[in-house]
Amino acid sequence: MKIGIVGCGQFSGVFADLWHIHPEVDQVWVTDVIADRADKLVERYRFAGTYNSVEEMLASDVDAVCLFTQRWTHGPLTVQALEAGKHVYAAVPMAVSADEIAAIIEAVQRTGLIYMMGETSYYNPAVIWGRREAAKGAFGRLFYAEGDYVHDMDNGFYSAYQYSGGDDWKATASYPPMLYPTHAVGGVLGAWPTHAVSASCTGVVDDRGDRVFDREVSMFDNDFSNMSALFELADGGVMRTNEFRRVGHPNQGAHESRFRYYGTNGVMEQGTLGATFTTRDTIADISDQFVTGSGQSDEDAEDALADVDPALRDSFVSGCAPVHDRTRLPSSYAGAHNGHEGAHHFLADDFVRAIKHRQHPPLNAWIAARMNLPGIVAFDSARRNGERLPIVDHGDCPTPVVDTEQPW
């Protein structure tokens, strides 16, 4: 298959290269509105070539496009690509409004094409562990869970937004924390198969005074830099999510996404460094299950991003953890650069499997909607002083999901 990458900024290269070395992928093509970035990526990884625009790429014979454009651009580009007959992989988030999400689901249903959202927390070691233990019943009845995405603006996001937004970067750096909910919500729902039905959220108005979270400057009319939301779940449980951007927290050597699952028989609590699993009469330190190996670094990518976001740079060198089952992956991924606590290999492989078997991936449009809509509604709630608001549900994926457990 031929894969086209849209957006050659900070994040796309490492994923594009994983598709490039996948045995089922013949060619990788790229495009960026800043042509120089596309040229450099082709040169660095020896990809097939560039297209001058996304329209040119959509008119070509690529089978699938993978969106790595700015956070607020994915909804319309996804529908445009599906309408052009292409399968779509989109980096998170899926979209920034309920209407955009409904339009994607409608287009996926109508075209029968594959859509996948690349939510890294789905293959976060703590979430894989939680998913397995929940399926075994180790928690008893799950009734409460927490997911946090803790990424301080001073730890890399200023430079990342400057690289991304150019002269107008302050207008974009105010991106509302709750419109990036998937690293927190996705890790809860990735282990606990339910969905949110209502939300109440409170935002902390930023007081730095540097016009980054300033409603007059913000293209999102946003001045919240930290947000906390409480969600009612369909099975009667409760989920709490924190999205923090002004927080005294390191970006290296610490879990940036952290999860805690509370059941009637067992509790898993993960913090910045370690994790425990407790029952009524046992306490187990399970931290070592979630420690990722050093993996292989991608030195070219690291050099290219040396002045950008150190958190992102660090993500290129992390390998897998003991809970990751690598036997399903193609042998060409052994020793390949990885990232986000071992998630990249599994996400890249899931998308190829879904296209090959023409079956929706685990992170399909319906699941992606359940990981995104809670944040969109929570942001509305925060702007309405915490009013509890209902969350629409688009239901389960209507057809069987592709088997990702079998080796190739």
Ligand X SMILES: NC(=O)c1ccc[n+]([C@@H]2O[C@H](COP(=O)([O-])OP(=O)(O)OC[C@H]3O[C@@H](n4cnc5c(N)ncnc54)[C@H](O)[C@@H]3O)[C@@H](O)[C@H]2O)c1
Contacts to ligand X by CB under 6 A = 6-12, 31-34, 37, 54, 68-71, 73, 91-92, 118, 120, 160, 163-164, 340
Nearer to ligand X, 71 or 211 (CB): 71
Q: Do 291 and 275 form a contact (C-beta atoms < 8 A)?
A: no
Nearer to ligand X, 69 or 218 (CB): 69
Total Cβ atoms within 10 A of residue 147 = 30
Q: Do 22 and 45 form a contact (C-beta atoms < 8 A)?
A: no
Min separation Cβ 54 and ligand X, Å: 4
Nearer to ligand X, 138 or 171 (CB): 171
Can you tell me the distance from the alpha carbon of 368 to that of 181, in angstroms, rounded to the nearest whole number?
11
Which residues on adjacent β-strands are paired with residue 28? 3
Min separation Cβ 172 and ligand X, Å: 9
Nearer to ligand X, 164 or 270 (CB): 164
Q: Is the dihedral of CA 100, 103, 109, 113 positive or negative?
A: negative
Nearer to ligand X, 52 or 331 (CB): 52
Can you tell me the distance from the alpha carbon of 8 to that of 207, in angstroms, rounded to the nearest whole number?
33
The overall longest dimension of the chain from CA atoms, in Å, is: 63
Total Cβ atoms within 10 A of residue 306 = 9
Nearer to ligand X, 164 or 381 (CB): 164
Nearer to ligand X, 330 or 339 (CB): 339
Min separation Cβ 8 and ligand X, Å: 5
Min separation Cβ 13 and ligand X, Å: 9
Q: Do 401 and 357 form a contact (C-beta atoms < 8 A)?
A: no
Min separation Cβ 298 and ligand X, Å: 14
Min separation Cβ 107 and ligand X, Å: 18
275-278 β-sheet, strand order: 283-285, 275-278, 267-270, 257-263, 142-150, 238-244, 224-233, 196-205, 389-390
Nearer to ligand X, 70 or 109 (CB): 70
**Collapsed DSSP state (helix, strand, coil) of residue 143:** strand
H or E stretch including 205? strand 196-205
Nearer to ligand X, 120 or 270 (CB): 120
Q: Do 259 and 130 form a contact (C-beta atoms < 8 A)?
A: yes
Write the single-letter amino acid at 225.
S
Can you tell me the distance from the alpha carbon of 200 to that of 403, in angstroms, rounded to the nearest whole number?
36
How do beta strands 275-278 and 283-285 pair?
antiparallel
Q: Which of 383, 394, 405 is nearest to 177 (CA)?
A: 383
Min separation Cβ 307 and ligand X, Å: 13
Min separation Cβ 180 and ligand X, Å: 7
Min separation Cβ 340 and ligand X, Å: 5
State how far the alpha carbon of 358 is from the alpha carbons of 83, 350, 388, in Å: 17, 12, 39
